[in-house]
Structure 1
Amino acid sequence: MFKINRITLFFISVFSAFFQLNAQENLIVNTYNRTVKSLNGDWNYIVDPYENGFYNYRYEPFENQENPANGAFFTNAKPKDKTDLIEYDFDLSDVIEVPSDWNTQKENLYYYEGTVWYKKSFDFVKTNQTNRVFVYFEAVNYQADVYFNGKKLGKHIGGFTPFNFEITDLLKESDNFLVVKVDNKRKKEAVPTLNTDWFNYGGITRDVKLIETSANFIQDYFIQLNPENKQQIKGFVQLNGTNIANKEVFITIPALKIKTKVVTDAKGKAAIALYSKKINYWSTKNPYLYDVILKFGDDELKDQIGFRTIKTNGQEIHLNDSKIFLKGISIHEESPIRGGRGYSVEDAQQLLNWAKELGCNYVRLAHYPHNEHMVRLADKMGILVWEENPVYWTIAWDNKETYKNAENQLSEVINRDKNRASVIIWSMANETPTSEPRNIFLTNLAKHTRALDPTRLISAALEQSNYQGDSSVRTIHDSFADVVDVLSFNQYVGWYDGLPEKCGQITWKITQNKPVLISEFGAGAKVGLHGDKLTRWTEEYQEDVYIQTLKMLEGIEQLQGFSPWILVDFKSPRRVLPKIQDGYNRKGLISEDGQKKKAFYVLKNFYDAKN
């Protein structure tokens, strides 16, 4: 792991540097336990493939004009009299549910990629006139331009992480309108880039909230166990406001009989160092969460935090200094209840319940940050979590803006989930081909991650290759393998690489002295399709791949766990085979309608035997 001086440096100062990376305002953490007003529900929307509501006929942005014309959708203009020409009307337009994607709500938008404008009108009376109000988006895919009462608040890029803007000075007690221009077009320089193997759901896909705070309030904090001292809880608290220097913040952990105070510096930040010899450590078998209370003036904030350490020791992974084998599965964020993008706590609960039924103590959240429900529930259920940045397949490695985008998205998920005990691995990327620009890109991401959070492990889903030209011996020949803490790779012997029997012909030569996680393996099967074990797409073929693969992989000396591909069948436009795929990746152990395939029980029996 890391030296104590790096950990101390992190807890004292790193997040002030992180905030400078964001285009939006400093993120307010722990909206789970704050008083909020939901803006979920019906929003009016306008489909705008030519972006007529954003550009004039000369393709000049309306927002750059001092007095935007009535054609600017973000003004939510209404005719002043019968002679006034306005060619749109949000209030007469159709409605769409938020949160959700537009693809599965509106049949004519199923494959639509482009701009859709959303508008929500609401009244809001503050509980105290000196209070401040922020609008908080859990996620919008992919680019969000946000306007409030006709004024631009800002822009956010990235489809899976939260952002917020202050609206205090623009807020009225009645007739407020929030307008969001959502653009989900895939772009070569974006993160992810043009080519993926999942569905590009567009829209305001997670919750939208109004957060009312005091004029000066607790904006952020990090409270975790010191990985170098299991009797010390370290971190920081950050205030927001104009009168935040030299202020007392009280931290209480009732179950540990801890009650102390810290005093902020000139920037409203204070380091935290707490001690206890009686900490009940969080683990997969004992997911104990402490109530942690922070109080500053009238502002009181509670969280539920588990304390644990996660480290590597040679070829082993240690949770609280004890070796652990990660019995996992990969998961996409699709709803097993409605279909489409998952967003609710019920969606997350069903997916994690299936993982537990499978015998998992670990899940890989692929290939992007999932919603906060997942990690909050994983905390409660004792499930370890791999979280992944959407650097997928091929990225514009030489593009500086692409790197900044990837770094910012990674920073945002770390900031949101840094207090979650379940999260043990930050993944930099998935299946990226090796090259010098790619190595620099990923290495810089890893350095950035270690600066932000030295308490967790770093990995990436790499690819395997032949060892010294011998196709029967596989290895990891990738300079980035020397950077990560945990060596992870995807392999598909028996599916993309020969038939299942080939697994018996393959051995592995891993030269790095690091723990190995198999981040993906698997095969496709249509639920209910049966035949012999050599017939593609049958449950029997998939079952045999799992049987043979598990035997093969157990021969890897450093093996510390798996996250096979994947828990549930998921939508992908790449998968077009009629009557089999029908727009779904069929590698799930469970069908999209909840039916378990035969391979589910192969993996379950394997995991049960690992207890």
Structure 2
Amino acid sequence: MKYYFLLIACVLGRLTLQAQENLIINTEGRNSVSLNGTWSYIIDPYDTGFYDYRFNERSEDDLGAYWNKPVLKKKTDWTEHGYNDTYTLEVPGDWNSQDPIFTYYEGAVWYQRTFDKPAIAANEQVYLYFGAVNYEAHVYLNGKKLGMHKGGFTPFNFKIPADLLQDTDNYLVVRVDNRRHKDEVPTVNTDWCNYGGITRDVKLLVMPEYFIKQYHIQLDQQQDIVKAKKKKRFQVSGWVKLNEVMASGKVHVEIPELKVDKEFEVTGDSVKIAFEVKKMQLWDTETPKLYNVSLAVNDEKAITDKIGFRKIEVEGDKILLNGDEVFLRGICIHEEIPQDARRATSKKDAEQIFGYVKDLHANMVRLAHYPHNEYMPRTADSLGILVWTEIPVYWTIDFENDEVLEKATNQLEEMVARDRNRASVIIWSVGNETPRSDARNTFMSTLAKRAKKLDDSRLISAALEVHYNAGTNFVDDPLGAYTDIVSLNEYLGWYGGLPDACRTANWETKYNKPFFISETGAGAKGGFHDEKEMRFSEEYQKWYYEEQIQMFKTRFPENYKGLAPWILIDFRSPKRNNPVYQEGFNRKGLIDENGNKKLAFYELQKYYKEIEEKEKASKK
């Protein structure tokens, strides 16, 4: 029996890796058909649709399997499952916010809908694409399994066999399971709501026989950006990856506004590209210039993308954007819409969240603690907001388990693949608040090195551990040797003492690298007012930020180069159960769940405006 389960694990692992290797990026620029909308569902807490009464996975043609369509031809026929319009969920979306029965539900839910075959030419093929499904997805079409995927925040796709696709009434079923497990990423213990469901866009991609699957186009990282700016001559480099090996062919790259029109010979399934561009306007926070870039293989229709060109790097203890020092005026964000207590899913949602960010006078966001939907970095691209994005290697991951490392690596690779052409994304983070041990150090450093190998055009970071004591708070986490910036979470005045403890705190770091506060904050119930010593009052949270900001100004080391307080908006968390002040919400937001700004919002806003005005004055 042990070997049977090992075999199953290997098969599932291959299915997951297959989805990763075949990931198609920039689906916005492709010929696609949306499958968003109303889906039927079956809630299945006992996994009846997946396992038989002996708890073995059902065979593919088992009529009791929930991926098969019940067929009743006579009165004596029977079935114990079915889909209809009585039970429906909207896709994309989490199930928790759509019906009270799902509020804290963790388990299996089966989604079902039908679709007609899209118009395709003789040499075209169809892929089924999911922006994300939390957490484990098994996908079936017309009774056949297309594959499975693990990871609640990264995209995946499957090629639909041509002989499986019917002209009409294609029967699509997805088993979604959001249960937490010790050997998954994230693990069982998190401080956010485990929203289940098909939480991001679903679409059919109609693709030619040969097409560009992935690509990376950016400024060449080896060039001296200061000299390039003076000469107004920039080197662009990257690569293009095809879906299949070609005996010979050409990849065409065009940037009309820059008069770039280049062809590159390709043999195999990939090609490196490099060319010079004159008079390019670099992307930055004040002028987030995006260029229309089109790519095509042979005579196929080009795909287009909006790409900004910039260089982010660290020089000693400075963070440089296009050769100029930048201070990160950040804020942390969960992928949640406050007034609906739901996952953010759309461009409109992204615009609402970034509206708050701009109002705060922030120039950077930390997307916690997982990759957010693709509308977030794309909106950040258009607004000039810098982005830290991370994988959910959080707290007590099983660091001694090689399979867990493989799962984390897979999510890292899917995150990088999707967002590597977003100018706004400047930091890949490999985790948050992971406790020190030899196994942890090996696990996390492996991820950091893998991230750097995948993409050397961005910084690598993680929220590190700190040695707190009565004298000096010292940052010497061994993981800091592998990161480009020293990032740490501190809550001095909330979890340790009162806010005025900031007046005597000292901070030092082992590393000559930029020092960044990746979290700090205090809880406050929106609309609750009292004396500043009263916990959970808006006055206490305001006091906390006053003392913190003064500490930043007077007691932080010279390599202090930014912060991202916790957090922009109150968010749901089943860990937070104070019946008066929390009620299932983490209340550290500067904005409450109804969209109302708390007093502390204006304290941080004032601090950021001061920094922004000084930066503008120094450039005059």
Query: In which range does the TM-score fall when normalised by the shorter chain?
Result: over 0.9
- Does residue 1:142 correspond to 2:135, yes or no? yes
Cross-structure match for 1:352: 354
How far 1:68 sits from its partner (Å)? 2.6
Cross-structure match for 1:573: 574
Cross-structure match for 1:13: none
Cross-structure match for 2:562: 561
- Does residue 1:74 correspond to 2:67, yes or no? yes
Name the SS for the 2:149 alignment partner.
strand
Cross-structure match for 1:601: 602
Aligned equivalents of 1:77 and 1:275: distance in 2?
A: 60
- Give the 5 Å matches for 1:240-251: 240-241=243-244, 244-251=246-253
How far 1:447 sits from its partner (Å)? 1.1
The one-letter amino acid of 2:188's match is L
Cross-structure match for 1:37: 33
- Give the 5 Å matches for 1:358-373: 358-373=360-375
Aligned equivalents of 2:515 and 2:73: distance in 1?
A: 67
How far 1:21 sits from its partner (Å)? 4.3
The one-letter amino acid of 2:473's match is R
Contact 2:16 2:150 in 1 (8 A): no
Aligned equivalents of 1:497 and 1:118: distance in 2?
A: 46
The one-letter amino acid of 2:382's match is K
Cross-structure match for 1:507: 506
Aligned equivalents of 2:244 and 2:369: distance in 1?
A: 36
How far 1:245 sits from its partner (Å)? 2.9
TM-score (norm 1): 0.94
Name the SS for the 1:579 alignment partner.
coil
Name the SS for the 2:382 alignment partner.
helix
Aligned equivalents of 2:530 and 2:457: distance in 1?
A: 48
Structure 1, residues 132-172: CA drift from partner, whole Å, max 9, x if none? 11110000000000111111111100000000001142111
Structure 1, residues 37-80: CA drift from partner, whole Å, max 9, x if none? 11111101001111111111111111xx3x63210111122223
- Give the 5 Å matches for 1:101-180: 101-169=94-162, 170-180=164-174
Cross-structure match for 1:396: 398
- Does residue 1:213 correspond to 2:207, yes or no? yes
Contact 2:338 2:592 in 1 (8 A): no
The one-letter amino acid of 2:407's match is N
Query: Alignment length, in residue pairs?
Result: 586
Cross-structure match for 1:480: 479
Name the SS for the 1:265 alignment partner.
strand
Partner residue of 1:234 out of 237, 250, 256: 237
The one-letter amino acid of 2:446's match is N
Contact 1:463 1:491 in 2 (8 A): no
How far 1:337 sits from its partner (Å)? 4.7
Structure 1, residues 305-331: CA drift from partner, whole Å, max 9, x if none? 000000001011000011000000000
Q: Aligned pair in 2 of structure 1 residues 145, 498: CA closer, same or farther (>3 Å)? A: same
Contact 1:328 1:562 in 2 (8 A): yes
Q: Which moved more, 1:505-514 or 1:86-95?
A: 86-95
Cross-structure match for 1:84: 77
Cross-structure match for 1:538: 537
Cross-structure match for 2:52: 56
- Give the 5 Å matches for 1:486-501: 486-501=485-500
Q: Which moved more, 1:375-384 or 1:163-172?
A: 163-172
The one-letter amino acid of 2:504's match is Q
**Same amino acid, percent of matched pairs:** 49
Cross-structure match for 2:591: 590
How far 1:196 sits from its partner (Å)? 0.5
Aligned equivalents of 1:510 and 1:343: distance in 2?
A: 39
Structure 1, residues 235-256: CA drift from partner, whole Å, max 9, x if none? 11122246x3311111111111
Partner residue of 2:88 out of 95, 113, 120: 95
Aligned equivalents of 1:251 and 1:511: distance in 2?
A: 45
Cross-structure match for 2:6: none
Cross-structure match for 2:177: 183
How far 1:23 sits from its partner (Å)? 4.5
The one-letter amino acid of 1:532's match is E
The one-letter amino acid of 1:234's match is S
Q: Which moved more, 1:194-203 or 1:339-348?
A: 339-348
Structure 2 residue runs without a partner (length 5+)? 1-13, 226-233, 613-620
- Does residue 1:413 correspond to 2:415, yes or no? yes
How far 1:20 sits from its partner (Å)? 9.6
The one-letter amino acid of 2:267's match is D
TM-score (norm 2): 0.93
How far 1:347 sits from its partner (Å)? 1.0
Aligned equivalents of 1:56 and 1:528: distance in 2?
A: 52
Q: Which moved more, 1:105-114 or 1:23-32?
A: 23-32
Aligned equivalents of 2:488 and 2:160: distance in 1?
A: 45
The one-letter amino acid of 1:345's match is K
- Give the 5 Å matches for 1:222-371: 222-229=216-223, 230=225, 231-241=234-244, 244-266=246-268, 268-296=269-297, 297-371=299-373
Name the SS for the 2:157 alignment partner.
strand
Structure 1 residue runs without a partner (length 5+)? 1-17
How far 1:262 sits from its partner (Å)? 0.6
Contact 1:24 1:165 in 2 (8 A): no
Name the SS for the 1:91 alignment partner.
coil
Contact 1:539 1:599 in 2 (8 A): yes
Aligned equivalents of 1:347 and 1:462: distance in 2?
A: 30
Q: Aligned pair in 2 of structure 1 residues 375, 134: CA closer, same or farther (>3 Å)? A: same
Name the SS for the 2:509 alignment partner.
coil
Aligned equivalents of 2:54 and 2:576: distance in 1?
A: 40
Structure 1, residues 113-138: CA drift from partner, whole Å, max 9, x if none? 10000001111232313211111000
Alignment RMSD: 1.5
Aligned equivalents of 1:245 and 1:19: distance in 2?
A: 28
Aligned equivalents of 1:283 and 1:79: distance in 2?
A: 62
Q: Which moved more, 1:71-80 or 1:89-98?
A: 89-98
Aligned equivalents of 1:48 and 1:289: distance in 2?
A: 46
Contact 1:315 1:513 in 2 (8 A): yes
Structure 1, residues 181-226: CA drift from partner, whole Å, max 9, x if none? 0000010111000000000000000110011011211211111111
The one-letter amino acid of 1:152's match is K
Contact 1:25 1:165 in 2 (8 A): no
Cross-structure match for 2:522: 523
Cross-structure match for 1:5: none
Contact 2:185 2:392 in 1 (8 A): yes
Q: Aligned pair in 2 of structure 1 residues 19, 459: CA closer, same or farther (>3 Å)? A: farther
Name the SS for the 2:410 alignment partner.
helix
Name the SS for the 1:246 alignment partner.
strand
Structure 1, residues 488-535: CA drift from partner, whole Å, max 9, x if none? 000000000100111101011222100011000010001111111111
Aligned equivalents of 2:543 and 2:513: distance in 1?
A: 29
Cross-structure match for 1:15: none
Aligned equivalents of 1:101 and 1:207: distance in 2?
A: 12
Structure 1, residues 80-122: CA drift from partner, whole Å, max 9, x if none? 3222221111136511111111111011111111000000111
Name the SS for the 1:146 alignment partner.
strand
Aligned equivalents of 1:97 and 1:23: distance in 2?
A: 24
Q: Which moved more, 1:226-235 or 1:593-602?
A: 226-235
Aligned equivalents of 1:76 and 1:232: distance in 2?
A: 56
Contact 2:338 2:570 in 1 (8 A): no
Name the SS for the 1:603 alignment partner.
helix
Aligned equivalents of 1:81 and 1:245: distance in 2?
A: 56
Aligned equivalents of 1:24 and 1:220: distance in 2?
A: 12
Aligned equivalents of 2:101 and 2:334: distance in 1?
A: 24
Contact 2:316 2:512 in 1 (8 A): yes
